[in-house]
């Protein structure tokens, strides 16, 4: 739309898009509004839209991931996590994010201890699994709603938004009641029913890259969420399966500049799942921020040998605190600030 286009003109264009069988998707920038026509391209009469009041130009987006592309939204998207009971934190643009906590919530005392430690070290969002996808059906599967209650109480007390994993459409409603940010794990990146259901909510979504997914696949999964109206998507590079077997997964550092060029969505890295061993986590985290990532999500435990899930990759609190200081220095090179 033209700079300064009236709300009446925006509403008229939106109504015409609906009449053509598509759905209008508004992106309001500082100077102008862009209206995406989400639907079958063949049904869109671009020439007619061009003639409407307030329209500057009609641009066909060639990328299959329309709403996630830079063509649709040129500036960096900034996603806010938090509220109404905790302060909001931002990620994207000049804002960097540090999410930290245990892999899974094992008990209340353990959660409070780790939460205080990561908060003091500089983390602003608390992570913790209430429902855990495990390779073996006999492994610890999480404590469910009880863990969510502990997370909520802990987050409210410490002023930290909560991020936790959702595995199934049946879990969306209960997690939405407690958490500030959904996490979709690598195994569920192409669970399209789950993506649609999460897209109906308006809470931020941390979308991890699948183990064998291309960057295009990943962005198309984000498109499912965006197309349902949830614009608050954060991408997470957590490593992919390659022929290399010296490390758990290969963290694809190259995906960060690629995403930055192809998409407006913020991207963070998960060095814990990529490394699988705590002694490699700091180097991988530094590399991710050095490549331009907008933040990190890191597992921390005060006694990894007692952890019921992924203990070998959890950082000790002192190591995590030192790492946060280093990451802040690297982010400053890109004029980013951990907040």
Residue 116 near residue 152, CB atoms below 8 Å = no
What residue ranges of the chain have pLDDT lower than 50? none
- Whole-angstrom distance, CA of residue 300 vs CA of residue 222: 28
- Specify the pairing of strand 267-269 against strand 233-237: parallel
Residue 320: per-residue pLDDT? 98
Residue 323: per-residue pLDDT? 98
161-192 burial code (b ≥16 CB/10 A, e <16)? bbbbbbbeeebbeebbebbbbbbbbbebbbbe
Residue owning tokens 């502990």? 150
Residue 169 near residue 198, CB atoms below 8 Å = no
Residue 311: per-residue pLDDT? 86
Nearest to 169 by CA among 199, 146, 194, 150: 194
pLDDT digits (tens, 9 = 90+) for 48-65: 999 999 999 998 888 889
How far are the Cα atoms of 170, 198, 201, 336 from residue 329, in angstroms, in the given order? Answer: 42, 35, 35, 9
247-283 burial code (b ≥16 CB/10 A, e <16)? ebbebbbebbeebbebbbbbbbbbbbbbbeebebbbe
Residue 306: per-residue pLDDT? 84
Number of H helices, E strands in the chain: 11, 13
pLDDT digits (tens, 9 = 90+) for 15-44: 999 999 998 988 887 778 899 998 888 888
Beta strands, E only, 117-274:
125-127, 162-165, 181-184, 205-208, 233-237, 267-269
Count CA atoms within 13 Å of residue 214 on its CB side.
Answer: 3
Residue 30 near residue 46, CB atoms below 8 Å = no
Residue owning tokens 């939204």? 73
Contacts 24+ apart (CB under 8 A), 143-150: 143/105, 143/106, 145/174, 145/178, 147/104, 147/105, 147/111, 148/174, 148/175, 148/177, 148/178, 148/179, 149/178, 150/105, 150/108, 150/111, 150/112
Residue 317: per-residue pLDDT? 97
Nearest to 250 by CA among 235, 270, 265, 234: 270
Residue 276 near residue 291, CB atoms below 8 Å = no
């Amino acid at each position: 739309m033209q700079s300064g286009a009236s709300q009446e003109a925006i509403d008229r264009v939106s109504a015409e898009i609906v009449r053509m069988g598509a759905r209008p998707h508004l992106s309001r920038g500082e100077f102008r509004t862009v209206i995406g026509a989400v639907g079958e391209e063949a049904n869109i009469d671009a020439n007619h839209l061009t003639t409407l009041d307030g329209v500057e130009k009609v641009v066909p987006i060639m990328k299959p991931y329309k709403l996630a592309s830079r063509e649709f939204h040129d500036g960096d998207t900034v996603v806010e996590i938090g509220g109404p009971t905790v302060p909001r934190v931002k990620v994207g643009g000049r804002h960097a994010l540090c999410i930290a906590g245990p892999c899974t919530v094992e008990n209340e005392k353990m959660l409070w201890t780790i939460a205080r430690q990561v908060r003091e070290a500089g983390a602003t969002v608390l992570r913790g699994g209430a429902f855990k996808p495990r390779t073996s059906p006999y492994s610890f599967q999480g404590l469910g709603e009880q863990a969510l209650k502990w997370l909520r109480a802990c987050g409210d007390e410490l002023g930290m938004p909560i991020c936790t994993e959702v595995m199934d459409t049946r879990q969306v409603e209960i997690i939405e009641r407690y958490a500030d940010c959904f996490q979709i794990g690598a195994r569920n990146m192409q669970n399209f029913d789950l993506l649609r259901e999460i897209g109906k909510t308006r809470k931020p979504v941390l979308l991890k890259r699948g183990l064998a997914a291309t960057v295009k696949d990943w962005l198309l999964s984000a498109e499912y969420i965006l197309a349902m109206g949830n614009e608050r998507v954060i991408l997470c590079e957590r490593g992919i399966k390659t022929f290399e077997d010296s490390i758990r997964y290969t963290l694809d550092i190259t995906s960060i500049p690629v995403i930055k060029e192809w998409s407006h969505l913020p991207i963070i890295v998960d060095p814990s799942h990529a490394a699988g061993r705590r002694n490699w986590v700091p180097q991988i985290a530094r590399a991710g921020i050095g490549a331009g990532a907008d933040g990190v999500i890191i597992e921390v435990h005060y006694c990894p040998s007692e952890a019921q899930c992924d203990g070998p990759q959890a950082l000790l609190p002192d190591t995590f605190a030192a790492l946060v200081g280093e990451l802040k220095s690297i982010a400053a090179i890109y004029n980013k600030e951990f907040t």
